Structures are given as C-alpha cells and as structure tokens.
A and B are shown apart, each in its own frame.
Chain A
Amino acid sequence: MNYSEIMVRYGELSTKGKNRQAFIGRLHGNVTKALHEFPDLTIRPKRDRLHIELNGEDAKAVMARLAKVFGIQTYSPSVKVAKDMAAVHQAVLDLMNETVPQGASYKVNTRRSDHTFALDTNEMNLNIGDFLVDQRPDLKVQMYHPDYILRVEVRREAIYLSNQTIKGALGMPVGTAGKAMLMLSGGIDSPVAGYYALKRGVDLEMVHFFSPPYTSDSALNKAKQLTTKLAPYAGYIKFIQVPFTEIQETIKATVPEGYLMTVQRRLMLRLTAALAAQRGGLAIVNGESIGQVASQTLESMVAINDVTTLPIIRPVATMDKTEIIKVAQDIDTYDLSIMPFEDCCTIFAPPSPKTKPNLEKTRYYESRLDVEGLMQRALDGVKITEIKSSDEFMNQDQDMISELL
C-alpha cells in the first residue's frame, strides 16, 4: 500500500493545560530527531495531532521508529486520494484488500472539514459502504465494536483514508520531565529502569563505573552497547564513565568485608549525585529491586541512600525478576545484559555481605576513607561520550566481517 501520510495522536499530554505548547514542541523535536534518517518527510505539528507527510518514504520504516517515541498515543498510516469518488473507491478497495482479512467486520466513519464537497458525511458513509458491500461481500458491516474502522477525512486539499490505529509508546515526550542520572551497570535491571524513566519524559544521562584492570574493555563496551538500545527513545544519550579502581582498592583495604559493598555503593551514589549537581540532573534513577540482592534490602537502601537528598527513582523496585526480564526482552537489552563480563559490582564482592547493614557502622567505616580526595580523583578521570542508536561498540569488526561473508 502506498501510504501518503502518518497521523500521530498525542498521548496524555492532551490534558496538560498550559504546558501544552511546550510539550507539543518537545514531541515535535523528538519525532524529528527519531526520523532524521528520512530527509523527505514533512512533519507538521497541529493542536491535537502531528501530520507526517511521507513524500515517498517507506511508511513501515517510519512507523518502526515512531513506535519508540514516547508521548504518542496512537498513529495511523493513511492514503491521500484526489477528491473524486472513482479514485476514492479504488483506493478504498486496495486498502481493504491489503489490510482486512476475509470475514472481518468494519464500519465507515467519515469526517468532513471541507463542507463544500458534493457528498455530506452520511452520504459518504453510505456511498462507500454500498461500494464495499458489492466488492467485498465477505466483510460484515457492524456499527458497534467492528474489527476495522475505515476513516474517511474530506479535507480541503484531498481525501484521506485510513483503517488502522496503531498503539504508540505512550508516556510523555522525553525531556519534558527534566534530566536525571541513570546508574547503568550492565546487568538486566538498570536498562529497564532507564526505559521506564524515559517513558515518563525524563531525559537521562548514563553513569557507569568501571575498574580496570579488574573489569575489561568488554564490560565497558557492553554498557555502551546497552546505551545504544535506549538511545532510540531519547535521540541520543550522554554516557559518563567514572573510573572506580582506586576507590574499590582503597575500600577493600580499609573496610571490613561485610561492609565493603555498602560503602562502595555509597561512594557510587555520592559520585552520581556530584555529577548530577555538575550537570543539572534533578534525580538519580537506578535498577534496584527490593530484596533482590544484599545491597537492595530496605536496610541497605537506608544505609546507602544516606549520602544524598536527591530523589532516587527506582522504577523496578517492586517488580519481580521475571517481569523485569520480560521488559528487557521487549526493549532488546536482555541478550546484551546476560553477556558474561565482570562488572565492578561483582569484583571484590564478599561471599557474605551484610543484608542488614547498620547505618551508624556504615558511616563510621566510610569516615576512615579520604572520601573527598577519592571522589575528586574519580571525577577528574570522568570521560563523556555521546551515544546514538546506530553506534556499535561490541562488534567493532562487523564491517570487515560483513565483507568476508
């Protein structure tokens, strides 16, 4: 089917009174960013819809990108036809033949903004309905809850037909909720947490701790590759890598084994909070899930959370592992996440960390460290890269290999 435009309906933002203009502007920008690979498109934002004129670009490919833009309720590919009933009939038949299976039910729903057109709304409904009854006798007309609604819009310049309404990614346009830092490890949970934060319109920057030589380049590249999977929702994402070797070695040498992990987490959180302060982040997002591991009991959260007053958003806190995995598979991060590279959370992991660390003891053990010096040196070694969805970190020989195959 040669679709000529895609009509995008806004989500929740329709209800947000005076911020509306800003929200639409942001969504328009995000859609434009998501579709930058299609230069021939014309994107026109309107009060309650966005019209994307395809101008010959492939509707399927465009819709695949739209599916990852938050703030979209639904979208419909539509066909533009000249205002001539013979042309309308032909296009209706092509559209129905291609998209509607034998025996399905439908109804015709005409809207007319051009009131000078020869047929009025009811006449259009009847005319097209009659035509379809003749041409597709297998289909059933049904007014209530039909399988398909054939929408016919008579506008000034042309008539538009569509019969599919595809559910969008919902949520809020990314960027409308401000910026937060995501603590991205490389495991299954943190990318899922990032996905949910993006869905609520939060613009994210990744904070990743790495500890060479205890962690390999592969582990760092894996975290970057995971970022490419979230990038389509955000346009691009800043990836902040924080060297953590000295801190880990120092903690290992200074802090009793049971409190290693708790103190280490506090330092991670302190660094993330410091980065948020530097970079205008309003919150911290992480992939903690209550009780999943020793550092994620409520007692541990109390002992760790102690170092900052920034809101810590834990989108997957109350989800079961199986639910988290399901989402990870849907957003295509799971296969990457399970690749077996040591990350800095697993090295030096004591055999039996405290599941109920004591806050006072934690503070005491941490006070033995030169927290400020350690943090300063880590922050001085920070490296920031901008990551796009098309970047490739894991398979850097892919071009060469493609040639060989």
Chain B
Amino acid sequence: MVNMIYFDNSATTKALPVVLDTYRKVSEDFFGNPSSLHAVGGRGNEVLQSARKQIADLMHAKPDEIYFTSCGTEGDNWVIKGTAIEKRPFGKHLITTQVEHPAVINTMKQLEDLGYEVTYLPVDKRGFIDPEDLRQAIREDTILVSVMAVNNEVGAKQPIDAVAKILQDYPRIHFHVDAVQAIGKGLMKSLRNPRIDFLTFSGHKFHAPRGTGFIYMKEGRHIAPLLTGGGQEDNLRSGTENTPAIAAMAKALRLLLTDEDQKVAHQQAIRKAIYDHVSQLTNVTMFSQLTPDFAPHILTFAIAGVRGETIVHAFEPHDIYISTTSACSSKKGTESSTLAAMHVDDSIATSAVRVSLDEYNTLAEAQAFNQAFDQIYAGFTKLMPTA
C-alpha cells in the first residue's frame, strides 16, 4: 500500500493521521454528551461549538448558519425534502439538473411520487446547464432550485453565479448548491455568492472520517427537520452530536483550505500532465477539459471499445486505483447518468473512467500513471475499433 497511487478521491479520501489524532483525543477527553448538564457534557459542548465556529469562520459564515449532518447524502435530502415540507403551502415545483448526484436526483424522484413536480434541466455536450433554461423553467409555484457546483462525474463547474443572478429576481425560491465536490477546489468565491441559501458538504471528501458532513443554511431561511428527537442542532437535526468526527472534520477543513490556491494549481498541473498524455491517443475521448470551467481534480475519459470496469481492473496490478465515472453507480454496471445527459453514445459512455485527485497526489504519480496507461492501452489495441 505504500506505493499505491490513489486516484479515486472523488469517491472518498484517506483520513489524515492528524485528523484521526483529533478524533481519538476528542473521543477520549471530550466524550461527554454536549447536551448533558454536568461539566463533562459542558466540555463536549465546548468542542462542538468551537468546531462549529471554526467551520463558520472558514466558510465566511456565522456559527448558527452551520448544521452538522452525517454525510453529503443527508445534507442533500434534508435541504430538498425540508424545503418541500416547509414550503408546501407556497408551491410544489422544484428545479434541478439532469446531472446531479443520485442523492439529489433520487430525492427529487421520491418527491415526484408524493405529488411534487420536478424540472430536470438538460446539459449541453460539455456537461453544462444553460442558465436561460432555468429562467424559462421558473414558475409561480417554484420553491427550490438545486444545482451542483461541480459535477462528480466529469468535473464540470455549473454556472452557479449566473443561476444566482437569475434568482435575484425570485427572492422567495430556496437556492441549494450541492458543493460536495467543490470544497477546497478554488470555488469559495462562487460558493459564498450571497444569493445561495444552502450548501451541502461531506467530510470524507476532504480527509475527515466517514459519517460527517455539514450544511450551510443562510440566516433567515427555514427548512423542516428530517430527524426529529432531542432537539439538537437548534431543533433542526436531532441525534446526539458526533463530536469526535465533527472536531476532526473542522480540523480537516482548516487543513484543506490552507494555501488552497497552491493546492488547486498543483492538482491542475497533475491533471494536465495526464490529460496531455492520454488525449493524444486516437481511441481516447476526453470528457473533462483543461478549461477553467472544469474543476482541477477530475479527469474523465474513455477508451473506445473497452469497458470502463475493464480499464479500472487493468490498472490494479500497477497498484493504481481509478474509478468508473462514479463510485455510487459503478457497481450497478449502469452507464453514467451525466454522460447520458451529455448525449454521449452508450457505447462510449460505458467505456468511461474517472481519475480524481487530491492535494497530496504528485506529478511523479501522474508520470507512473501515464506509463501504466501506455502499457494498458497497447494491450487493448485488439479490442479497439479499427479506423
């Protein structure tokens, strides 16, 4: 495992040792239930509130705008269903995109079963929605617009600022941005666009332990809770707070956002090294571009004629780990929903694989990847279509 090259950071990241130190110390020294009256509980609460304040400061938000969750999926579910419940008297129409993460898409589908109407905005060939389509889709009874900041399958950065600008004219509509893939990737300015009401984050995508996440909820906005109970998180998300993991996440977020610009440039350089190498080959189709409208850490491409899972497995003997387009759908063998929405032909969509980086990957790893790629590519020539 020492020389392993892990290029599947959009699926999950490895928790950092210093982050796990925090997890362990908080578990041992601050284990009290933050709701307990006694001093041990008070110490637990102190950690919890300090973590909340640190995350709020890092996000340029107020502490009472940060709510802890168990993961990105919970955040997406909460904002969408919470809005649907809260704003039911005002309308039952929601707008999202065809390329959202299943945590959004399938939540929307569930709401459709319950009588809500959902508009799924299409994307162009490169994977981007057209803000004008959004403008057309808005109705009198629209209660929520949910658009991801960075697509998890190809890395396209959706035009969040343009969407925000349109929504300026519709102040009552909740605007949710799934930012799970966007944090630490140089998008803070867009994410803190003042028109955004909700942001969803997941801890394990930035070296925090599994089972952590948080949402940002702008002061003055309200959504119904999904988890009711003991009244934690300002009565909006009950359940005993996962203090050790929350503290670990606060630390991971601080580390992630330290020197963010340099880390972004570093990932861009690695991505470019791979892009420049693989894109020259005739049977390779690139779905991610090097242009600024793509995130710095995701590179998705296909080798014509070779199934994605075959490519993933071919890299394993080299101790290199990449993914078919999304870990969440990869085991089901279905083709990528984002590529389908981009009108990529099924035959090529099933050949897609994704390389996803973190700030700890290196250029040397990119070179090792490129060498392995050449060998694998040569081995597959028989499978490839002849020109």
Contacts and interface: CB of A to CB of B under 8 A. Distances in A.
Contact of B22 (A218, A395, A405): A405
Interface stretch (B47-55, B113-121, B311-319, B370-378): B47-55
Nearest to A218: B42
B16 to A, nearest CB: 13
A401 B50 CA distance: 8
B43 A397 contact: yes
Contact of B54 (A218, A395, A405): A405
B251 interface: yes
Interface in A360-405: 395, 397-398, 400-402, 404-405
B254 A405 contact: yes
B302 interface: no
Contacts of B47: 397, 401, 404
B22 A398 contact: no
Contacts of B26: 404
A341 to B, nearest CB: 9
B298 interface: no
Nearest to B47: A401
A405 B46 contact: no
A222 B43 CA distance: 15
B25 A397 contact: no
A398 B51 CA distance: 11
B46 A404 contact: no
Judged by DSSP, the binding face of A is helix
Contacts of B46: 395, 397-398, 401
Query: Interface range on chain A: under 10, 10 to 19, 20 to 34, or 35 or more?
Result: 10 to 19
B147 to A, nearest CB: 31
A398 B42 contact: no
Interface string B27-57: 0011000000001001100110011001000
Nearest to B26: A404
B250 interface: yes
Contacts of B250: 405
Contacts of A395: 46, 50
A402 B46 CA distance: 11
With most chain A CB atoms within 10 A of its CB, the pick from B22, B50, B54, B247 is B50
A5 to B, nearest CB: 32
A395 B39 CA distance: 11
Interface string B244-263: 00010011001000000000
Contacts of B30: 397, 401
A405 B42 contact: no
Contacts of A218: 39, 42
Nearest to A217: B39
Contacts of A397: 30, 43, 46-47
A404 B42 contact: no
A132 B54 CA distance: 44
Interface string A30-57: 0000000000000000000000000000
Nearest to B55: A405
B43 A405 contact: no
A194 B163 CA distance: 50
Contacts of A401: 30, 46-47, 50, 247
A400 B50 CA distance: 11
Interface in B45-73: 46-47, 50-51, 54
Contacts of B54: 405
Contacts of B251: 404-405
Interface in B220-256: 247, 250-251, 254
A317 B51 CA distance: 40
A402 B30 CA distance: 13
Nearest to B254: A405
Nearest to B25: A404
Interface in A108-139: none
A395 B54 CA distance: 15
Interface string A120-161: 000000000000000000000000000000000000000000
Nearest to A395: B46
Nearest to B249: A405
A346 to B, nearest CB: 15
A217 B50 CA distance: 21
B263 to A, nearest CB: 20
A404 B22 contact: yes
Nearest to B54: A405
Contacts of A398: 46, 50
A401 B47 CA distance: 6
A217 B43 CA distance: 14
Contacts of B39: 217-218
A257 B298 CA distance: 73
Interface string A60-98: 000000000000000000000000000000000000000
B298 to A, nearest CB: 29
A396 to B, nearest CB: 9
Contacts of A400: 29
Contacts of B43: 397
A289 B51 CA distance: 38
Given A398-B46, A401-B47, 11 more contacts: A218-B39, A395-B46, A397-B46, A397-B47, A398-B50, A401-B46, A401-B50, A404-B47, A404-B247, A404-B251, A405-B54
27 contacts: A217-B39, A218-B39, A218-B42, A395-B46, A395-B50, A397-B43, A397-B46, A398-B46, A398-B50, A400-B29, A401-B46, A401-B47, A401-B50, A401-B247, A402-B50, A404-B22, A404-B25, A404-B26, A404-B47, A404-B247, A404-B251, A405-B22, A405-B54, A405-B247, A405-B250, A405-B251, A405-B254
Interface of B: 22, 25-26, 29-30, 39, 42-43, 46-47, 50-51, 54, 247, 250-251, 254
Q: Nearest 9 pairs between A and B by C-beta?
A: A401-B50, A404-B22, A405-B250, A405-B251, A405-B54, A395-B46, A401-B47, A397-B46, A397-B43
